[in-house]
Amino acid sequence: MIRTTVAHFGHATNAQILAKLQEQYPDLSATTVHRATARLASRGEIGVAPNDPQGAMRYDSLADPHDHFMCSSCGNLRNIDVVNEVASVVEKKLDGCEISGRITISGVCKTCHKKEGTK
């Protein structure tokens, strides 16, 4: 049920997962959700995504390694896969350093960009 809920959101915090599941299971506790998401992530059944803008940990329905675009305005995440194209360029700028993780790129998403353009 937690994997299904994470899949529903794509990327979700424990608070979002809890709120959604409490619609069906009102006695479900935050501790139970926290333990379950931590266990699922440690087993590789769900992924760990970049924290939300308030610093809350987020989980990802995709467990396979991938990169993210995070909107600096609304905080939404989108899955992308750019590390192979970007890593060599960044490593050249770092003069001998090597990228070993995935990349999170921030900017303004299309929806927020349109909203900002209409103000």
Q: What DSSP letter does each residue of 22-59 carry, written as one string?
A: HTT-TT--HHHHHHHHHHHHHTTSSEEEPPPTTS--EE
Task: Name the residue range of residue 11's domain.
Answer: 1-63
Q: What whole-number distance in Å separates Cα of residue 6 and Cα of residue 48?
A: 11
SS3 of residue 97 by DSSP: coil
- Of the pLDDT bands very low, low, confident and very high (cuts 50, 70, 90), residue 118 is low
Same domain for 50 and 70, yes or no, is no
Same domain for 72 and 117, yes or no, is yes
Write down the pLDDT at residue 42: 97
Same domain for 56 and 1, yes or no, is yes
pTM comes to: 0.84
Q: Do the beta carbons of residue 68 and residue 79 sit within 8 Å?
A: yes
CATH number of the domain enclosing 3 = 1.10.10.10
Same domain for 52 and 6, yes or no, is yes
The per-residue pLDDT for range 25-77, each reduced to its tens digit, is 999 999 999 999 999 999 999 999 999 999 999 999 999 999 999 999 999 99
Q: Per-residue pLDDT for 100 more than 70? A: yes
Q: What whole-number distance in Å separates Cα of residue 36 and Cα of residue 42?
A: 10
